[in-house]
């Protein structure tokens, strides 16, 4: 009889409460999303962010299904972070769903330095890539394309933030190339830099 009572109570609880939210975190995005359970408006969701597992120090609260984690006040890069969410549509409410992890700040934007925009590179010469900015980045991604839309890539490589980045132009054709860089902090991606371009030429006055 006790087993039946427990089962009944469990079914009763599920029928009178909304399901707890679940979390979705898209790749290359530092927004945290909870699933839309279909019975509540966006502003009927609550997400709390805290620096302790007891949520005694809540540093951010939003009434939304989406939390922008790129700029959470009071949380330092590499620090523990605790997140909980619930939904209440005024008729039924869910319990809290909680997750925790390490907070990584979004890297700052990168400014390209060399080669300069519209530089001419003699085919066969080495191209030294340099840039500034990218605060909090641990690695950077360099994309090279024959199109300024970067829809089709010639190459895409990830380097350490302090690595020397060298491209051997002998592997490139005699054409114009566009390049851009973004910083990466663990799984958090910074914005793409503005793009530069350079021309690979045969001999002449290039680098």
Instruction: Give the mean model confidence (pLDDT) for residues 160-178.
Output: 97
Does the pLDDT of residue 8 top 80, yes or no?
no
Query: Other C-beta atoms within 10 Å of 101: how many?
Result: 11
Q: Quick one: pLDDT at residue 28?
A: 45
Which domains, and CATH codes, for the chain? 18-103 (2.60.40.10), 110-201 (2.60.40.10)
Instruction: Give the mean model confidence (pLDDT) for residues 63-87.
Output: 84
Q: Which helix (H) or strand (E) holds 72?
A: none
Instruction: Give the mean model confidence (pLDDT) for residues 38-51.
Output: 84
How confident is residue 175, by pLDDT bands cut at 50, 70 and 90? Answer: very high
Instruction: Give the mean model confidence (pLDDT) for residues 34-55.
Output: 83
pTM > 0.75: no
Distances (CA, A) of 72 to 15, 97, 106, 131, 157: 35, 19, 10, 27, 30
């Amino acid at each position: 009889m006790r087993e039946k009572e427990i089962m009944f109570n469990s079914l009763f609880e599920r029928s009178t409460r909304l399901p707890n939210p679940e979390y979705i975190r898209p790749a290359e995005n530092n927004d945290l999303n909870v699933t839309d359970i279909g019975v509540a408006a966006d502003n009927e969701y609550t997400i709390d962010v805290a620096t302790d597992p007891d949520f005694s120090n809540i540093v951010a609260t939003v009434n939304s299904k989406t939390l922008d984690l790129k700029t959470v006040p009071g949380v330092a890069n590499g620090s523990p972070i605790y997140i909980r969410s619930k939904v209440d549509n005024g008729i039924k409410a869910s319990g809290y769903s909680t997750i925790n992890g390490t907070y990584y700040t979004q890297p700052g934007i990168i400014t390209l330095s060399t080669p300069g925009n519209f530089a001419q590179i003699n085919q066969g010469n080495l191209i030294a890539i340099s840039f500034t900015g990218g605060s909090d980045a641990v690695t950077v991604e360099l994309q090279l394309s024959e199109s300024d839309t970067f829809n089709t890539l010639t190459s895409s490589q990830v380097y350490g933030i302090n690595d020397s980045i060298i491209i051997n132009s002998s592997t490139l054709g005699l054409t114009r190339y566009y390049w851009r860089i973004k910083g990466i902090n663990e799984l958090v991606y910074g914005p793409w830099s503005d793009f530069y371009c350079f021309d690979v030429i045969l001999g002449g006055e290039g680098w």
